[in-house]
Amino acid sequence: MTKTYTIEKANKFIASNKDKLNQKYYPEYHFASPYGWINDPNGFSIYKNEYHLFYQYYPYASQWGPMHWGHAKSPDGIKWEHLDVALAPDEAYDQGGCFSGSAIEKDGKLYVMYTGHLPNDSDESLTRQNQNIAVSEDGISFKKYENNPVLTEKDIPEGSSIVDFRDPKIFEKDNVYYCVLGSKTEDNEGQVLLYKSDDLLKWDYVSVFFPYNNYLGTMVECPDFVQIGNKEYFVLSAMNYEDEKTGKVYNHISWLIEGEVDWDNFLFKMKNIKEMDNGLDFYAPQTVAKEDGPVAIAWMQGWGRDFPSDEQDHGWAGQMTLPRKLMLDGDVLKQQVPSEIESYKHVKTSENNVSIDKKHIASREAVQYLNIQANSDELNDFIIQFSNDMNENIKLSYNHSEKAFHFSRNNTEVKIMNEDNEKVLVSSSTYPYTGDTLNMEIFLDKSSLELFVNEEITLSNTFYLEDKISEISIESKESVTLKRLETANIDLRK
């Protein structure tokens, strides 16, 4: 029987079409596919001293389709090299797609564990998902395990959905391999399941590791259990989370959850929770463990809204955030772009003691990096505006009394609409940063902006302008003094 999808077909198609990709919105230093659609990062790992990034990939169109695993590697997590497609939905157990999963090195080999998707279009209750293993001797070419699937609906505990069972993330503890899996109960309450293995091939059910609470919504996706310093955390995404105070329902939200594990009973107990990123475009973050702390990367997009690069037939859709190191500073969890990005910054400028009198021009071009430092007692409300010659702009607004930020893409020709045909324009207000000083890092690309505030607060947002940014200004109705203002460009050719 001829297979509809194979790695060979995918690689041949990409090679024939990648030069047709429209570069208008295509990122210059954030990761995106060579051609086609991407979503969740998968298999984010370190193998033979290099970062490996796999991702949900449909190479044949700029829309979601039967998922493959795209693949890239990098010496530093910033500059990526595209590699051949790693997995295609070419077996009976994954013919509906090779869904999200993870990777880990063992005995010099790279093991990946992923979800096989078996949809039933006529009756969704008959859809099934299973877990599978593929192994690589070189980190490039993968062979699927002959005894796949290694977990099926028979391995799901009573009372849990047998339809939604996906996104395995492997970790090792005390010489035992574990994986956490996204799940929900039969009553549509999100939860995380735990499985264990001695060899990464035979897996056994352990427990409902993280039972339902309201923050887990109706389904947990891409759960990731991580150790940060001496504390235990979950990084995960929840579907249909309802805020009890406002009644607002978030279709997809990504959490950083501090907790404590009862390892005798294999039970994670939540202590503190916060949104990992306060922007409009951040989902399915995944971490890789490093000696000095985990590094995370996320899909810089969201479900249930327009994808302008697809609608305009540009040949691609979706991009990733910059990697971010997760670390503890006392009891404060911080997120920091790795220092390796410094080697790609050039054409740097800096100003000290900048006084803002209504309007200050920070740059008359689209610089790709800004660093603003200030003392809180010298601040008032201000707006950073990124404008072009067509009178379009995007804005970052700072509310000094709340110590909070807002992002707006209201004044752009291309409007991003959600499933209810509503404009998705403004990110929610962030929570206040701590301390008496403000340190903002802004990473600007062709169609995205990432903001880091004191390494505590982040906003990741996409936007689509008809012309390139030609001016960056800082505006305030009251006196504002900046201790330092730096700008730079980021060039991956350096």
pLDDT tens-digit map of 151-208 = 999 999 999 999 999 999 999 999 999 999 999 999 999 999 999 999 999 999 999 9
Q: Is-contact 53 40, C-beta < 8 A?
A: no
Distance separating alpha carbons of residues 466 and 447, to the nearest angstrom? 11
Helix (H) or strand (E) holding 15: helix 7-17
Q: What angle do CA 131, 53, 79 make, to 5 degrees?
A: 175
Give the bridge partners for 399, in sequence order.
Answer: 404
pTM: 0.96
Q: For residue range 63-112, list pLDDT tens digits in order.
A: 999 999 999 999 999 999 999 999 999 999 999 999 999 999 999 999 99
Q: What are the backbone angles phi and psi of residue 88, rounded to the nearest 5°?
A: -130, 155
Per-residue pLDDT, 1:
54
Q: For residue range 319-372, list pLDDT tens digits in order.
A: 999 999 999 999 899 999 999 999 999 989 999 999 998 999 998 887 999 999
Q: For residue range 116-136, list pLDDT tens digits in order.
A: 999 999 999 999 999 999 999
Q: Is-contact 460 443, C-beta < 8 A?
A: no
Give the bridge partners for 478, in sequence order.
Answer: none
Q: For residue range 413-455, list pLDDT tens digits in order.
A: 998 888 777 777 777 678 889 889 999 999 999 999 999 999 9
Distance separating alpha carbons of residues 405 and 278, to the nearest angstrom? 9
Q: Are strands 36-47 and 316-317 parallel, antiparallel or unpaired?
A: parallel
Per-residue pLDDT, 250:
84
Complete DSSP assignment for 260-311: EEETTTTEEEEEEEEES--SSS-EEEEEE--TT--EEEEES--SSB--HHHH
Q: Which domains does the chain have, with CATH numbers?
A: 7-336 (2.115.10.20), 343-490 (2.60.120.560)
C-alpha distances in angstroms, 287 versus 179, 284, 438?
14, 10, 27
Q: Which residues contact 256 (CB under 8 A, 6 or more apart)?
A: 233, 234, 235, 273, 274, 275, 276, 333
State the burial class of residue 168 (Cβ atoms within 10 Å of its Cβ: 0-12, 13-18, 19+). buried
Distance separating alpha carbons of residues 386 and 407, to the nearest angstrom? 11
Distance separating alpha carbons of residues 153 and 452, to the nearest angstrom? 42
